[in-house]
Structure 1
C-alpha cells in the first residue's frame, strides 16, 4: 500500500523512523559553530518531492545516524557512525528507469528501494540515485563491504557506479531539479516551474529493509571476505620475501644514502606526493596511480610497501615477486622521480647530501661520479621469470607417470570464478534439468528465460550476468506455436528489436536424436546429429541450449539407469563440455507429484537423470495448501506456478520459491475475419505479504479494540490455543475480521506486533473466570512512533 511518512513512522518498518544528518550543499559545515546537524527520517526521504536549488547547493544527507558537528568528516563517521542505508550514484550510460528497477529487483528482491533522477538528468543523459534502507544499522566496515557488493553487482550488469559513495562522510544529494543545466544551459523546468525530466520509482515505506546477511548481497560480501583473506596471505608472503631479500643483500657503497632517504621520507608522504589514493576503510591501503581497478592494492607494512597490482608489476615498480611487487620509500623515489634509473637517483641524492652537509673525509671516488655499485635488484628480471628454476636438459623429455600437483600450491585470487550465466540457475559447460508436470507452463518458462538471456536483464529473481544467445530445440510444439508464445512473452517482458538474432529455433526439432540404440539393441551410441549440433553451437556462439523435452532426444528407456546415464553423458561430455555452452534439459515429473516442489524424487525416470545434471529444478502448480497459506482463492490457484531448486551442486543458496503468474495476452496476428489469438505468458509474482492490505486507519482500529478488550471484560490473547480461537478471544480473529486477512496472515501480523512490543501480554483480573489471567494490551505508549 502507499503510505505517507507520518503513517510510515507510526506503523511501518523500523527503518522508516531512522534519522540521518542533512545539510545544504557541499559547503554547509558545522565544524566552526559546533552545532549538531539537522536530521531527516528515511521515510521523509522516500516521500519528498524534488527541490529547486542550484546543483551544488541542493539538500544532501549522509546514510548514518551520527549527526554531531563533525558528522561530515570521514574519520568521525568511520569511528562513530551507524549506517542505515546503501546508496548508489549513476552518472553515465543513460540507463532507463525500467532497467535500474529490474536490477534492483534482482539485487534486493522485495526490500525497500527508492530510485530518483539526479539534478542534471535530462533527455539522452538520464542519471540516477538509489537508496536501499537496511533492515539493521551496521558499522562502517560492514557497510563498506555491502556498498562494494552493491557496486560490483551493478557493474557486472553494465551500470557504472560512482564508488566515491563508499566514503563514510560522502554527501548523497536528495531529489532536486534546478531551473537549468549548469554547463549547457538546457532548461530542466518548464515556464510553470514543473520539472521536465525528473522521474522516480519506489517500493513505498511498507517494504522491509535490506538484510545483508541473506540473498545475493550476502553471497557477494562473502566473496569480498574471501578475496580479502587471500590478499592478506599474499601480502604477508610478499613482506616475508622482502625481509629475506634484504637480509641476504650485500652491502653497497651507496647503502647509507638510501637508508638516510628512507629514514627522512615516510612512505605515506610519498604516496600522497605521487598521486596515490588512500582507502576509506584502512589508512594503510592505497590505490596506485597506475592501477586500472578500483581496489586499494598497495599496503604500507612498516618500512615496506607491498602491492598486489598487476599494473604496478608491469610498470616495474620496486622489486617483483610471484604475487606482486614491493619496495621502500627509496624505490618510490627511483621510479617516480628517475624513471626507474637507480644510478640517476643515487647520484641526485648523493649530490644533494654533499651540498647540504659536506663530509670531512673524501668520498670513495671522485666528486663527479660517486661510484655507484649496482645492488642485486630485480630490475633486469622479467616478472614471469622471477621464480622459474632451470630444468636440466637430460630431464626435459621425461614425463611423470601421474600428473599431480600440491593441493595448496595456488593463489586463491587466481582461481577462476564459476561461469554463471544466471547465478544459481544456469552454469556454462554443464547440463541442467527442469522438471514439471504437463500444463504447468514449462515451455513458456524456457522461452521467457531465453528472452531474459537475450536482453541481459533481470526477469523477476533471475538475473543474467550478460546478454546470451540461445538455441531452442522444442520437440513438442511446432514453430508457429512457439512464435505465438514468444509474441506474448515479448509483450509482457517489454522486449524489442534487441531480441533479433539472439534466439534460434529448430523448425523440425523431431529429427534431433542424439543417442540411439546400437544395431544389436544392447548399447547406446552417439548419433551423427551431435557433430552437427556442436558445429552449429560453435559457429553461432550459442551460450545456452534448451532441449524440450529431453526424453524425445534419445531412443532408449528413461527408466533404465544404464541407458539414461549414457544418453546424459552425450549431452554433458559431447556437447556441453566441448562447446562450453549450458545445456538446459526439460523433463516431466511423475504422475500425481502433488506438493513435490523442490523434490528431486518427483523427476520422472531413472535416478541417473538427476545424478548426471549439475543443477536440477522443478516448476510446479500452486497446491491447495500453498493457496490457503498465501491467501489465493482456490478457484484461481491454477494461475500460479512456483520454481524451486531441486539439486544445485554448484550453489548453496537457500531453496526459496520463485513464483510466476499466468496471464493472457492478445497477440497481433488476427484480422476482421480471424480474431487474434489469446496466448498465455508468465510474469514474476510476489505472494502478498500479511501487512500489504493494512492501512494506518485499520491498524489503529485493531489496536484500539485490543486495548479496550472484549465486552465481557476479558482480554484478547496472542495464541489460538486453549479454545481461545474458537471462542473469538484469539487476537487473530479480530485481525481477520477488521482487515480481511487469511488465518496464516493474521497469525503473522499478531506475532510481529507482539515481538515488536506493539501489543504486550500482561496479567489482569478476569471478571469472567474471577482470577488472574494473561491478556493483550495495546497502550498508545507502546505503539511505533509514539514517545515511551
Structure 2
C-alpha cells in the first residue's frame, strides 16, 4: 500500500520576509558606502620616541588667548544679545588686523568670510558699513537667509570648497548654526554628520579657523561659566574653544560679558562695552563680572533702603529689617551690606541686644557703570 505524503507547509509571508531582509542588507551597504565617501587614509603615524624627536613649533594664536591656530570655535551667544555683532567684530579685526575688542592681538592669516544665514542682505551690508572696515577687500560675504545648503551632500560640499578657495578664505564664520543646519535639532548622529561635513570643507579648502555661531539653550543658567548651545550634546563636544557671550548687567543693560574656554584657552569672564554708531565691542576694566554687578546693585538697594528709612523716621534700621525688605539670601545681603560700608554709602553701629544698626553714610549711593570709573583697555586712562 503506497504511503501518502503531505506536501510541506508553505509560509505565505516567507517571500516578503526574504525580500525585506534583502532591502535591509542593501540599505546597510548603501549607508556604509555613503559614510566612506571622500574617505582618505590618515597620514602615517609613528611611535612616541619618533614624535619626541620632531621639532614642533610653539602653539600660535590667530587671536591672542582666544583662538589657537587651526581651531574650531563655537560662539555660544544668549538670545537677542548681539551674537552677530560679536561675530562681525571678529570679522573686522581679522580684515584690518586690529586687536579684537581692543585687547586681543590678531596674527594676520588672510581673508575672512562671513556666511550670513539669518540677517537680510540689506541689513547685513548696512551693519558692515557702520563698522567702517578699512580693508573690505579682505571680507567675503555669502547671504544664505532662506537658502538651503545641505552640506551633507557631496555636490554642495564641493561647491563650498571651491567658493572658499576662490576667495582665499582663512577664517570662516558661519552664522548661525540653527539657520544652516538641516537636520533634527537634538539628533546627535545627524549633528555629528553635519559637523563632519563642515570639518571636511574646512580641511579641503585649507581654512585655518572655523567659527560657528549658535544660540544658547533655553535652560541656560545665569551663573554657568559655559552654557550649552541649542541642539544635541555633540555640538558642544565638537569645538576646540567655546566662547560664551551674554548680557546680564544689573548696572548697565548695554554691557556684555564673555568667557573663552577650551584647549589651551582659559579666559575668565570679562566685560564688553558697546558703541552703537560703529557697532564696536570694547573690553573694559573696572566694571567687574556679572556677579560683581549683582552685588553692587544689591548694595545700592540696601543703601537706598537705609537712607529712606532714616529720612522717614530719624531712626536706623537693623539687620532683620533689611532682610525683611530685601528678598535675597542672608549671605547675599551681608555681602551687599559690606560693600555699601566699604563705599561709605552706609555705616553700621552696635545696638542693644547685640543688634546691628544701619545709618546713612557720608556718600550718596550711585548705581552707574561710570560711577565705577571703568577703564577701556588700551586707553589713556589705563
**What band does the TM-score fall into relative to the shorter chain?**
0.5 to 0.7
The structure 2 residue matched to 1:506, chosen from 120, 123, 142, is 142
Q: Which residue of 2 aligns with 1:641?
A: 256
The answer to whether 1:537 aligns with 2:164 is yes
Please give the secondary structure, in 2, of the residue aligned with 1:619. strand
Equivalent position of 1:607 in the other structure: 233
- Select which of 685, 689, 696 maps to 2:284: 685
Query: Does 2:45 align with 1:435?
Result: no
Report deviation, 1:506.
1.2
**In the alignment, what sits opposite 2:96?**
455
Residue 273 (structure 2) pairs with residue 661 (structure 1): yes
Residue in structure 1 matched with residue 178 of structure 2 by the alignment: 551
1:477 aligns to 2:119 (yes or no): yes
Tell me how far 1:551 sits from its aligned partner: 2.2
Residue 209 of structure 2 aligns with which residue?
582
Superimposed CA distance per residue, residues 122-174 of structure 1 (whole angstroms, 9 cap, x where no aligned partner): xxxxxxxxxxxxxxxxxxxxxxxxxxxxxxxxxxxxxxxxxxxxxxxxxxxxx
- Partners of 2:212 and 2:337 lie apart in 1 by 54
Matches within 5 A, 1:20-99: none
1:552 shift after superposition: 2.2
2:246 to 613, 617, 620: 620
**Could you tell me how far apart the structure 2 residues matched to 1:724 and 1:599 are?**
28
Residue of structure 2 equivalent to 1:45: none
Quick check: 440-449 or 455-464, which moved more?
455-464
5 Å matches for 1:74-473? 404-410=45-51, 414-459=55-100, 460-466=102-108, 468-473=110-115
Q: Number of matched residues?
A: 270
When normalised by structure 1's length, the TM-score is 0.31
Instruction: Report the secondary structure of 1:579's partner residue.
Output: coil
CA contact (8 A) 1:428 1:580 kept: no
Question: 1:719-730 counterparts in 2 under 5 A?
Answer: none
Deviations for 1:317-351, whole angstroms, at most 9, x for unmatched residues?
Answer: xxxxxxxxxxxxxxxxxxxxxxxxxxxxxxxxxxx
CA 1:454–1:732 in structure 2 vs 1: closer, same or farther (change >3 Å)? same
Tell me the alpha carbon deviations over residues 222-242 of structure 1, each in whole angstroms, 9 at most, x when there is no partner.
xxxxxxxxxxxxxxxxxxxxx
Distance 1:587 1:660, change over 3 A: same
1:483-512 Cα offsets, whole Å, 9 max, x none, are 22112222xxxx53xx13111111345435
RMSD between aligned residues? 3.6
Please state whether the residue corresponding to 2:210 is helix, strand or coil. strand
- Partner Cα distance (1:467, 1:615) in 2: 18
Is the 8 Å Cα contact of residues 140 and 167 (structure 2) preserved in structure 1?
Answer: no
CA distance in 2 between counterparts of 1:562 and 1:507 reads 27
**Cα pair 1:429 1:577 within 8 Å, conserved:** no
- Contact preservation (8 Å) 1:435, 1:617: yes
Check whether the contact 2:241–2:265 (CA below 8 A) recurs between aligned residues. no
CA separation of 1:724 and 1:590: change in aligned 2, threshold 3 A: closer
Question: Is the radius of gyration larger for structure 1 or structure 2?
Answer: 1
Cα 1:422–1:727 shift into 2, 3 Å: closer
Aligned-pair distance for 1:429?
3.6
Per-residue deviation at 1:583?
1.3
Query: Per-residue displacement from partner, 1:531-554 (whole Å, max 9, x unpaired)?
Result: 122112223221111111112223
- Unpaired runs of at least 5, structure 2: 1-42, 289-329, 347-360, 373-382
Structure 1 position 610, deviation (Å):
1.0
Distance in 2 (alpha carbons) for counterparts of 1:466 and 1:575: 18
User: Do the aligned residues in 2 keep the contact of 1:485 with 1:681 (CA within 8 Å)?
Assistant: no
Structure 1 distance, partners of 2:224, 2:336, is: 33
- Distance in 2 (CA, whole Å) between partners of 1:681 and 1:453 is 14
Q: Which structure 1 residue ranges, 5 or more long, are not aligned?
A: 1-401, 516-524, 666-678, 690-719, 749-788
SS at match of 2:143: coil
Partner of 2:7: none
Q: Which residue of 1 aligns with 2:4?
A: none
Counterpart secondary structure, 1:506? strand
